[in-house]
A and B are shown apart, each in its own frame.
Chain A
Amino acid sequence: MTEPGDRSDVELEELQDRVSWLVRLRWVAALGVVATVWMVPRVIGIRLWERPLYWTVGGLAAYNLVVWSVNRWVPAATRGISVSHFTNAQIALDLVFLTVLLHFSGGIENPFVCYYVFHVVIASILLSRAATYLQVSFAVTLLAAMTASEAVGLVPHYHLPGFLDPQAYRRPSYALGVAAATTTMLVFAAFMATSITSRLRRREAEVVGLSDALREHADELADAYAALRQLEHDKSDYLHRAAHHLRSPLATLERMLTVVVEGRTGGISTKTHEMLERARDRARGMGDLARDLLVLSRARRAVVGAIQDRADLPALVRQVEADLQQQASLASVSLVASCSPGVPDVAGDPETLRDLLANLLSNAIKYTPAGGEVRVNVSAAADAVEIRVSDTGIGIPAEEQPLVFDDFYRGSNARASGKDGTGLGLAIVKAIVEAHRGTVSLESEVQAGTQVIVRLPLGARVVAKRA
């Protein structure tokens, strides 16, 4: 989208680029001339009129310097000048300088008369077709003017020794021959060069068109992706609210039954007590399920790669270990946490990662018989942080190991243990790990124990945002 203000900026940049290029070419040309003028008399032995030639090159260099400084230091002033006018003027001036150089080095005798073609090629790259042919006409005119004025004696002729006889420049047949050859060459060169350039320009326009279309598509894609993420979020948000609305009354139900079972509403018969206790346990089971669904939906709600927070895992491990010591001692299981020194922060939401650790440790404690041990260790690996939770518990049968991360799956021996479980623990772990772009794996042997290994990538990932 270009506005009027933008257009002149684009033009300015174009102008500066073109002029810089021309300036550079001119320096090269000037150096080339100086080198040639110095070398030819000394190495090849052809005497040249060095002084006027050096003066002309000096003039060329001075003119180039002026153009360079105007280009560099006066951009505001050039705002008034259009790109093509400035370029046209320079090319015309360059043609004049070439003509002057030729004049001082034999005029039409000089084989370098063909060098007009360079200016024609440059013109066809930078200017329009019409302007290019105009420059060709100008070049031809300059050549003709130089030759004619030398031939009639209007200006002195600087003979180039060792090439042609000194009268050649006055012979019409010779002069016209060279002029004709040069003119046709320039015209055909202009034709060919402008054809190539116009094809290139058309291709350029195509490419610009393509890249615009591509950008539009990219925009559409980004919008579609945002809509999808919103949908995912809404879906999980719904689940989150549904689970909450389930959990609250279930919690109340459990509390009410507890209050009666604890005898706070008066005496109850043994049988009543027993029935209500079992009813309370059922309510608790459903409450746990609602709670786990809530945690699971929260974990899945986190959009992969969008996490901006950083989490200090060793600190979280210490917190969770402290929280769970009571559960561990009630189960007569020893809980030991160890952290290697120098563990860096991971990209992660601290609360969610706390859920992760709590799930892993709580699970481990639950399925480890009395007298057993649960260890948790945090260490730094290649470009990740590794969390290992190992227990001396009931283990998971080999054929069931790939299934335990599935929603609601409970291992056969877990079910047989008589312990309650929702089957969502490892599904929660997996969801959290995936939301953090990490990996989780486990090793286990029945009746020996289980080890769960979680790897989380380091540091703050910069999420590529659509501007």
Chain B
Amino acid sequence: MSQGAGSKKVLIVEDDRDAAEALRLVLEDEGYTVIQAADADQGLIRAREGMPDIILLDIMMPSGTEGFHFVWELRRGPEEWSRRIPILVLSAIHGKTRLRFHPDQQDPVYGPGEYLPVQGFLDKPSSSAELIAKVRQALEEAAVLSGNQAGTDR
């Protein structure tokens, strides 16, 4: 039963097909439109094509660095939206609330050891209720932020 999710688009970047499908079923039931990508490169393409409202990202797919690579590339993007779009990290590491870039990655903007510029973390597994709640919360917060932005732009 959707609750005014409207036509919000969710991009799931997850290499585990079954996990992605399980997420999709819950989100579609809530009224979200779901697009999927199976790796970081595909994810970046889909993100630019589809302009989703939120991204759910598996941070460890399948090697340890692909997820970081995705965040990095996205956040560097010249477009405003790629820097502002909320990202929720799906992580099998229990109870994570922050993640740092790996110490031997070099980037002019994000140094090694700095925190990932993401908006939240979702345990794997988390209950359907938690998933829905976190997605909704992240979208609301992003709306507030862009609302402020729009306000000051004017």
List residues of chain A with CB under 8 Å of any chain B CB: 244, 247-249, 251-252, 254-256, 258-259, 262, 264-265, 284, 287, 291, 294-295, 354-355, 358
A-B contact pairs, 20 of them (CB 8 A): A244-B92, A248-B92, A249-B16, A251-B125, A252-B18, A255-B18, A255-B125, A256-B19, A256-B21, A258-B22, A258-B125, A259-B22, A259-B25, A259-B128, A264-B25, A264-B26, A264-B29, A265-B25, A291-B94, A358-B95
Q: Is the CB of B19 within 8 A of A251?
A: yes
- Chain A residue with minimal CB distance to B16? A252
Residues of chain A lying within 8 A (CB to CB) of residue B127: 258
Q: Is the CB of A258 within 8 A of B60?
A: no
Looking at the assembled complex, report how far the CB atom of A400 sits from the nearest CB atom of chain B, in whole angstroms: 27
The reply to whether the CB of B23 lies closer than 8 angstroms to some CB of chain A is yes
Q: Is the CB of A248 within 8 A of B124?
A: yes
A295 to B23, CA, bound (A): 25
The reply to whether the CB of B93 lies closer than 8 angstroms to some CB of chain A is yes
A355 to B96, CA, bound (A): 10
Residues of chain A lying within 8 A (CB to CB) of residue B21: 256
Q: Which of B63-111 contact A (CB under 8 A)?
A: 92-95
Looking at the assembled complex, report how far the CB atom of B142 sits from the nearest CB atom of chain A, in whole angstroms: 23
Q: Is the CB of B125 within 8 A of A287?
A: yes
Residues of chain B lying within 8 A (CB to CB) of residue A284: 125
Q: Is the CB of B92 within 8 A of A255?
A: no
- Chain B residue with minimal CB distance to A250? B125
Q: Is the CB of A248 within 8 A of B60?
A: yes
Known: A252-B125, A255-B18, A256-B22. 6 other contacts (CB 8 A): A244-B93, A248-B60, A248-B92, A255-B125, A256-B19, A259-B26
Residues of chain A lying within 8 A (CB to CB) of residue B95: 354-355, 358
Q: Which of B112-154 contact A (CB under 8 A)?
A: 124-125, 127-128
Residues of chain B lying within 8 A (CB to CB) of residue A256: 18-19, 21-22
Residues of chain A lying within 8 A (CB to CB) of residue B128: 258-259, 262
Residues of chain B lying within 8 A (CB to CB) of residue A259: 22, 25-26, 128
Residues of chain B lying within 8 A (CB to CB) of residue A254: 125
Looking at the assembled complex, report how far the CB atom of A267 sits from the nearest CB atom of chain B, in whole angstroms: 15
Looking at the assembled complex, report how far the CB atom of B61 sits from the nearest CB atom of chain A, in whole angstroms: 9
List residues of chain B with CB under 8 Å of any chain A CB: 16, 18-19, 21-23, 25-26, 29, 60, 92-95, 124-125, 127-128
Q: Is the CB of A248 within 8 A of B16?
A: yes
Given contacts A259-B22, A264-B26, contact A251 B124 (CB under 8 A): yes
- B92's contact among A247, A258, A354, A355, by CB below 8 Å, is which? A247
Q: Is the CB of B22 within 8 A of A252?
A: yes
Looking at the assembled complex, report how far the CB atom of B90 sits from the nearest CB atom of chain A, in whole angstroms: 9
A262 to B23, CA, bound (A): 13
A295 to B29, CA, bound (A): 34
Q: Is the CB of A244 within 8 A of B60?
A: yes
A295 to B92, CA, bound (A): 11
- Chain A residue with minimal CB distance to B29? A264
Q: Is the CB of B93 within 8 A of A294?
A: yes
Interface centre among A252, A262, A291 (most CB of B within 10 A): A252
A244 to B124, CA, bound (A): 11
A256 to B18, CA, bound (A): 7
- A251's contact among B25, B26, B92, by CB below 8 Å, is which? B92
A17 to B66, CA, bound (A): 64
Q: Which 4 A-B residue pairs are closest in the complex by CB-CB distance?
A: A251-B124, A255-B22, A251-B125, A252-B19
A5 to B1, CA, bound (A): 83
Looking at the assembled complex, report how far the CB atom of B20 sits from the nearest CB atom of chain A, in whole angstroms: 9
Residues of chain A lying within 8 A (CB to CB) of residue B26: 259, 262, 264
A254 to B128, CA, bound (A): 11
- Chain B residue with minimal CB distance to A319? B97
A284 to B123, CA, bound (A): 13
Residues of chain B lying within 8 A (CB to CB) of residue A262: 26, 128
Looking at the assembled complex, report how far the CB atom of A178 sits from the nearest CB atom of chain B, in whole angstroms: 83
Residues of chain A lying within 8 A (CB to CB) of residue B125: 251-252, 254-255, 258, 284, 287
A255 to B130, CA, bound (A): 12
Looking at the assembled complex, report how far the CB atom of A325 sits from the nearest CB atom of chain B, in whole angstroms: 15
Residues of chain B lying within 8 A (CB to CB) of residue A354: 95
Residues of chain B lying within 8 A (CB to CB) of residue A252: 16, 18-19, 22, 124-125
Q: Is the CB of A294 within 8 A of B25?
A: no
- Chain B residue with minimal CB distance to A258? B128
Looking at the assembled complex, report how far the CB atom of B88 sits from the nearest CB atom of chain A, in whole angstroms: 15
Residues of chain B lying within 8 A (CB to CB) of residue A265: 25
Q: Is the CB of B25 within 8 A of A295?
A: no
Q: Is the CB of B29 within 8 A of A255?
A: no
- Chain B residue with minimal CB distance to A249? B16
- Chain A residue with minimal CB distance to B22? A255
A99 to B131, CA, bound (A): 103
A197 to B13, CA, bound (A): 81
A103 to B1, CA, bound (A): 122
A354 to B92, CA, bound (A): 17
Looking at the assembled complex, report how far the CB atom of A256 sits from the nearest CB atom of chain B, in whole angstroms: 5
Q: Is the CB of A294 within 8 A of B18?
A: no
Q: Is the CB of B23 within 8 A of A255?
A: yes
Residues of chain B lying within 8 A (CB to CB) of residue A247: 92, 124
- Chain A residue with minimal CB distance to B17? A252
Residues of chain A lying within 8 A (CB to CB) of residue B22: 252, 255-256, 258-259
